[in-house]
């Protein structure tokens, strides 16, 4: 009897999970579908799911109008660079908070997180003025720095949570064997926290890839990533939904593929430490 | 002989290097619309004529506005030319943020710019941005549905007629709405439309002492008229419809009438996109007999931010892009219906352009708009669908959100007007106008 209830519950849970999954995926599916329609088909009401002539015209128009590879390369450099730099800063910070906590550690962690609660536009002018002063406007290095700083609280928090799961005794043993701080972090802590670090890296690459406030406001013709590429196809006066969808599909494709292939690591990392 | 050759070579080298030195790369921030994208395609023509190359930064209108405002106020210097509208130009010109366009060449013929456009893009008589294209608003209607309803659209209709026609054309069974209008929140979306509608009902944003006027009967009359008509004959969910949504509805044959930007005329008459291309008529925006029509005036114009290092090249570009030659270039390659409209008087004197079905009504609509005298009663501001003060965008966005809540059935006309009155007066007091 208990097994029958359990099976029913399993079926229901699975069905619910599928329903939520499909609901979340639907906008992406719709965007991809629209990208293969003509502009007239894209706005058709009732919406066309099947029975339209698929066209690649939008992709060819987008390719012709924009230098996709330049935007893609900027996205790769900015997302990758800001994440790498963030990890470099956050690993020692999270180590000290997890293994050598002070009375203020919790406060500092909360304070770091509180910076995420400030609307980005609140610091648009100070950041812009700093960028003008240091000639960082429309440069990839400028965006790497800003995105690193923006995502740093999340990186530190995630790493701190993973590091807390690692027994301090192992590090003590390493110290007794003569390991210095550098060796301790590099050769003992990091290998043990690889799943956690991997999921932190993935999540931050996704966050940096999708960031669309600073990447639009601090770039012009040179350093614009794929968010700027998409923004150039949005228009309140003119119907360009099919082209916008094609541009969006091209922009999300790389990160979608990355997420697909790394979903195991991502889930493993996100649930790491969830069950004690 | 050797000396002669050496001199020749030196002269040639000097010439080449001087041409090389004067060739610049200019960066232009622009919006994503059909005319602007078309211009990007002709950049090679500009490069061939001047040697300058162009880098484009295309952004959505609201993003562009924020981006260029930040750039100009922080002296970021990222752009050599900015695409700005009639709202920003006089304000930025007065602040000294733009290079005056008072030394354009004689061939450019600055006097050919339509007077309404030139006036709206100037401050104290100095032109600060050259119009690439201009627009007003007008009635676009289905001639077949109008005929079936037994009505005839006058060239200059009243709101009462529009309401009567909307009632006659509405056919819910066949999914045809008598009228489609903007209800979407945002000062440039539904905010613009209800402002020009209110103008024609004798309402105004401010009296001469900058006191908000939403507590006056004209605003109540205008808003009540709009809401009643749209609830009865408009499309469901019109509170979230902007230009694109209505364009889409009209092109699919689901609107009897649509009152919106004159540039839409080329979209709805294009058989590739519109299912009703061959049955569209045009008329002036409606009035109530008080002397003001409910049409706006807008231009997307090219301006040079003060402080650019490439002012000369930027001016050359503006002269090229907004010239008579550019219009002819587009006409030659893509037909007269696709040239940027509403900027030059000579365009409307061209016999080929006069044959374009919407040309005359576009010009008449532009000429009927007077930004310096936009309302029935006197006002202290310039602008028809906007008030040319820096605070307006913020205030009008909030006010239009209150109005959209009425369209969505979330509050009454009276409640929305009361809130609009309070928030506008508060903001104007904080800004030091009152």
> B362-380, pLDDT tens digit by residue?
999 999 998 889 999 999 9
A40 vs B contacts (CB less than 8 Å): 251, 272-273
Phi and psi, residue B290, nearest 5°: -95, 0
Q: Do A43 and B252 touch (CB under 8 A)?
A: yes
Buried b (16+ CB within 10 A) or exposed e, B24-54: bebbbbbbbbbbbbebeebbeebeeebebeb
């996709």: which residue's tokens? A68
> What H or E segment, with its residue span, contains residue B280?
strand B280-284
Tell me the C-alpha to C-alpha distance, in Å, between residue A114 and each of A102, A160, B288: 19, 16, 55
CB B215, CB B388: distance < 8 Å: no
For chain B, say whether A124 makes contact (Cβ under 8 Å). yes
Query: Do B2-135+297-354 and B137-296+377-430 fold alike per CATH?
Result: yes
Compute the count of residue pairs across chains A and B with CB atoms less than 8 Å apart.
97
Q: What is the chain B residue with the closest CA to A217? A: B67
Domain ranges of chain B: 2-135+297-354, 137-296+377-430
Q: Do B60 and A235 touch (CB under 8 A)?
A: yes
Mean pLDDT of chain A: 89
CATH 1.10.10.60 fits A66-232, yes or no: no
Q: How confident is the model at residue B16 (pLDDT cuts 50, 70, 90)?
A: very low
CATH for B2-135+297-354 is: 3.40.190.10
For chain A, say whether B143 makes contact (Cβ under 8 Å). no
The highest-confidence range among A58-67, B116-125, B411-420, by mean pLDDT, is B411-420
CA dihedral B204, B205, B207, B209 (to 10 degrees): -170
Give the pair of three-digit tokens for residue B74. Answer: 């922080």
Q: Which of B32, B40, B251 sits opposite A240 (nearest CB)?
A: B32
Is pLDDT at B17 greater than 80 in this prediction? no
Over its C-alpha atoms, chain B yields an Rg (Å, rounded) of 24
Q: How far apart are CA A72 and CA A178, in angstroms?
A: 46
The H-assigned helical ranges of B51-142 are: 61-73, 88-94, 115-120
Which pLDDT does position B312 carry in this prediction?
95
Buried b (16+ CB within 10 A) or exposed e, B149-180: beeebeeebebebbbebbebbbeeeeebbbbb
A235 vs B contacts (CB less than 8 Å): 31-33, 60-61, 244
Q: Do A232 and B32 touch (CB under 8 A)?
A: yes
Q: Do B70 and A220 touch (CB under 8 A)?
A: no
CATH for B137-296+377-430 is: 3.40.190.10
Sign for the CA dihedral angle at A87, A89, A92, A97 comes to: negative
B32 vs A contacts (CB less than 8 Å): 232-235, 238, 240
Give the pair of three-digit tokens for residue B207. Answer: 């009296």
Residue B104 region, left (φ>0) first, then alpha (ψ -120 to 50), else beta?
A: beta
Q: Do B32 and A233 touch (CB under 8 A)?
A: yes
For chain B, say whether A237 makes contact (Cβ under 8 Å). yes
Give the pair of three-digit tokens for residue A240. Answer: 């360009």
Q: How far apart are CA B25 and CA B340, in angstroms?
A: 25
User: Per-residue pLDDT tens for A135-190?
Assistant: 999 999 999 999 999 999 999 999 999 888 888 888 888 888 888 888 888 888 88
Could you tell me the end-to-end alpha-carbon distance of chain B, in angstroms, rounded to an integer? 82
Angle (CA) A39-B330-B113 rounded to 5° is: 110
A238 vs B contacts (CB less than 8 Å): 32-34, 244, 247, 267
**Which pTM does this prediction carry?**
0.85
ipTM above 0.90, yes or no: no
Domain ranges of chain A: 66-232
Q: Do B189 and A124 touch (CB under 8 A)?
A: no
Q: Which of residues 82-121 of A touch B (CB under 8 A)?
A: none
Q: How confident is the model at residue B14 (pLDDT cuts 50, 70, 90)?
A: very low
> What H or E segment, with its residue span, contains residue B135?
strand B130-142
Which pLDDT does position A4 carry in this prediction?
58
Q: How far is B179 from chain A (nearest CA, A)?
A: 17
Which pLDDT does position B8 carry in this prediction?
57
Biggest distance spanned by C-alpha atoms of chain B: 93
Is pLDDT at B12 greater than 70 in this prediction? no
Q: How far is A227 from chain B (nearest CA, A)?
A: 10
């Amino acid at each position: 009897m208990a097994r029958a209830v359990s099976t029913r519950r399993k079926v229901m849970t699975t069905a619910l999970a599928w329903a939520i999954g499909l609901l979340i995926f639907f906008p992406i599916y719709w965007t991809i579908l629209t990208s293969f329609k003509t502009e007239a088909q894209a706005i058709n009401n009732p919406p066309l799911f099947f029975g339209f002539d698929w066209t690649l015209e939008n992709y060819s128009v987008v390719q012709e109008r924009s230098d996709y590879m330049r935007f893609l390369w900027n996205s790769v450099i900015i997302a990758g660079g800001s994440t790498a730099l963030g990890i470099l800063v956050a690993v020692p910070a999270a180590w000290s908070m997890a293994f050598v906590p002070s009375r203020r550690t919790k406060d500092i962690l909360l304070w770091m997180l509180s910076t995420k609660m400030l609307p980005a536009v609140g610091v648009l002018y100070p950041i812009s003025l700093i960028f003008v002063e240091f000639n960082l406007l429309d440069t990839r290095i400028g965006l790497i720095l800003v995105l690193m700083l923006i995502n740093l609280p999340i990186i530190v928090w995630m790493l701190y949570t993973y590091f807390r799961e690692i027994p301090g005794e192992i590090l003590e043993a390493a110290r007794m064997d003569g390991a210095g701080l550098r060796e301790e972090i590099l050769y003992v802590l990091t290998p043990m926290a690889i799943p956690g670090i991997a999921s932190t890296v993935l999540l931050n690459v996704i966050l940096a890839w999708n960031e669309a406030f600073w990447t639009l406001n601090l770039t012009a013709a040179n350093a614009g990533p794929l968010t700027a590429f998409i923004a150039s196809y949005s228009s309140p006066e003119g119907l360009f939904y099919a082209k916008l969808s094609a541009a969006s599909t091209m922009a999300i494709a790389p990160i979608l593929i990355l997420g697909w292939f790394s979903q195991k690591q991502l889930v493993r990392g996100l649930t790491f430490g969830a069950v004690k | 002989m050797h000396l002669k050759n050496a001199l020749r070579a030196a002269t040639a080298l000097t010439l080449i290097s001087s041409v090389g030195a004067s060739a610049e790369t200019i960066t232009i921030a622009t919006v994503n619309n059909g005319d602007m994208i078309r211009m990007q395609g002709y950049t090679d023509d500009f490069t061939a004529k001047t040697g300058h190359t162009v880098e484009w930064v295309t952004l959505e209108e609201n993003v562009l506005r924020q981006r260029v405002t930040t750039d100009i106020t922080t002296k970021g210097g990222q752009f050599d030319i900015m695409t700005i509208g009639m709202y920003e130009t006089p304000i930025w010109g007065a602040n000294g943020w733009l290079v005056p366009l008072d030394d354009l060449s004689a061939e450019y013929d600055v006097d050919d710019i339509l007077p309404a456009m030139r006036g709206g893009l100037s401050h104290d008589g100095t032109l600060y941005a050259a119009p690439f294209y201009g627009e007003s608003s007008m009635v676009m209607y289905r001639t077949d549905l109008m005929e079936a309803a037994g009505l005839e659209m006058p060239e200059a209709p009243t709101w009462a007629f529009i309401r009567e026609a909307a009632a006659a054309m509405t056919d819910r069974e066949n999914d045809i709405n008598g009228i489609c209008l903007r209800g979407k929140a945002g000062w440039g979306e539904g905010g613009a439309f209800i402002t020009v509608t209110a103008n024609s009902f004798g309402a105004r944003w401010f009296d001469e002492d900058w006191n908000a006027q939403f507590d006056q009967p004209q605003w109540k009359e205008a808003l009540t008229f709009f809401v009643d008509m749209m609830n009865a004959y408009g499309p469901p969910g019109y509170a979230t419809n902007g230009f694109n949504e209505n364009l889409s509805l009209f092109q699919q044959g689901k609107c009897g009438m649509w009152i919106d930007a004159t540039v839409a005329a080329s979209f709805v008459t294009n058989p590739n996109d519109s299912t009703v291309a061959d049955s569209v008529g045009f008329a002036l925006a409606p009035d109530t007999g008080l002397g003001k029509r409910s049409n706006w005036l807008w231009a997307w114009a090219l301006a040079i931010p003060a402080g650019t290092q490439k002012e000369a090249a930027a001016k050359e570009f503006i002269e090229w892009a907004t010239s008579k030659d550019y219009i002819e270039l587009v006409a030659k390659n893509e037909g007269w219906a696709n040239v940027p409209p509403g900027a030059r008087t000579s365009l409307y004197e061209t016999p080929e352009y006069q044959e374009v079905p919407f040309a005359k009504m576009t010009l008449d609509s532009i000429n009927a708009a007077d930004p310096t005298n936009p309302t029935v009663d006197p006002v202290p501001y310039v602008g028809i669908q906007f008030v040319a003060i820096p605070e307006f965008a913020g205030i009008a966005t909030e006010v239009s959100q209150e109005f959209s809540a009425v369209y969505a059935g979330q509050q009454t006309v009276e409640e929305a007007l009361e809130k609009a009155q309070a928030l506008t007066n508060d903001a104007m007091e904080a800004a030091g106008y009152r």
